[in-house]
Amino acid sequence: MPPYFRYMSGHHPTTLVLGATGKTGSRVAAGLASRGLPVRTAARSGAGIAFDWSDRGSYAPALKGVERVYLIPPLLRLDYADDVSAFLDEAEAAGVAHVTFLSAYGMEHAPAGVAIRGVELDLLQRQRLSHSFVRPAWFMQNFSETFLVPLNGAIAVPTGNGSEAFIDAGDIAAVAVATLADPAAHAGAAYSLTGPEALTVAEAAALISEATGQAVMHLDVEREEWIAGLVAYGIPAVYGAVLRPLTETVASGNGSRPNGLVEQITGRPGRTFRDFAHKNAAAWRTPAS
């Protein structure tokens, strides 16, 4: 059935949301559902259908009957280009018409050998799929869930006095939802998304201190020692190749800068870090001894 007949008959395309239990995937799924759009959630566990990038047999069942895909590449891997390409081959064969890809800020300047950029280049050459790239700055949720979580009153990360326009995962998801709800309006777009203000990690720490009533500071550690510590904590050693330039970019003063795209696309301002900090204060507070 041609697409225009589907819309005339009240057809609502189903969107497959990969990484549906994660930071943006869960929010994208909820955002599409709130618009009354059909969603199929996929993850290794805890979602509507099981999906594992290391199991290519899981691709076709996840793709059956869907027309749009929110594509999140495998986490903590750098060797996934072939898997994603195989997935996109199957997506085309299954009749998928549009893919929104969660990329990263500044990826347009990366060489083809960088996995995320490789996926972008793969999508750019596919004629049967339209696409949108969502390229966010550092997530605010890194401070509450991952490598920027304060420990013993300090946020240890080698970013010096460089600043970054941290963005809330909810704002990233809102832009992704817009592209998936109306692909024709966003086909071929590449959105470099930022928060509304650029902050140093020290300034972010001060806002966390304000929200929690407990002192939090930025500890500008030596980069290789920091990476070694994360590896010891469980991050794959190969992921140092991502963390090294990521922190070097901010430390050198070349971090992301506010651009207002979130408001342009969604019609509402992006969340400020102060608001984020106050909404997450309970997660950071240390119980009184």
Q: Are 183 and 134 spatial neighbours (Cβ–Cβ below 8 Å)?
A: no
Tens digits of per-residue pLDDT, 4-37? 333 334 568 999 999 999 999 999 999 999 999 9
| Tokens encoding 131 | 């696409």
Q: Nearest 5°: CA angle at 142, between 80 and 232?
A: 65
Tens digits of per-residue pLDDT, 169-215? 999 999 999 999 999 999 999 999 999 999 999 999 999 999 999 99
| Cα separation, 156 vs 228, whole angstroms | 13
Place of tokens 């430390």: 251
247-267 average pLDDT score: 97
| Cα separation, 175 vs 170, whole angstroms | 9
Tens digits of per-residue pLDDT, 78-126? 889 999 999 999 999 999 999 999 999 999 999 999 999 999 999 999 9
Q: What is the mean pLDDT of the chain?
A: 93
Q: Cα separations (Å) of 77 from 73, 101, 121, 241?
A: 9, 16, 18, 11
- 283: CB partners within 8 A, 6+ apart: 144
DSSP letter at 113 equals T
Q: Nearest 5°: CA angle at 146, between 217 and 174?
A: 110
| Cα separation, 217 vs 175, whole angstroms | 32
The one-letter amino acid at 285: R
Q: Give the three-class secondary structure for 163.
A: strand
Q: Give the three-class secondary structure for 154.
A: strand
Picking from 56, 63, 50, the residue whose alpha carbon sits closest to that of residue 98 is: 63
Give per-residue burial for 224-248: e unless 16+ CB within 10 Å, then b.
Answer: eebbeebeeeebeeebbebbeebbe
Residue 11 has a pLDDT of 66
Residue 237 has a pLDDT of 85
Angle between helices 115-124 and 81-94 (to 10 degrees): 30
| Tokens encoding 85 | 């390409």
Q: Are 139 and 167 spatial neighbours (Cβ–Cβ below 8 Å)?
A: yes
Q: Cα separations (Å) of 119 from 78, 82, 88, 108, 201?
A: 11, 9, 10, 11, 30
Whether the predicted pLDDT of 288 surpasses 90: no
| Tokens encoding 203 | 């300034």
Q: Between 86 and 147, where is the model more confident?
A: 86
Whether the predicted pLDDT of 236 surpasses 90: no
* Biggest alpha carbon–alpha carbon distance for the chain: 66
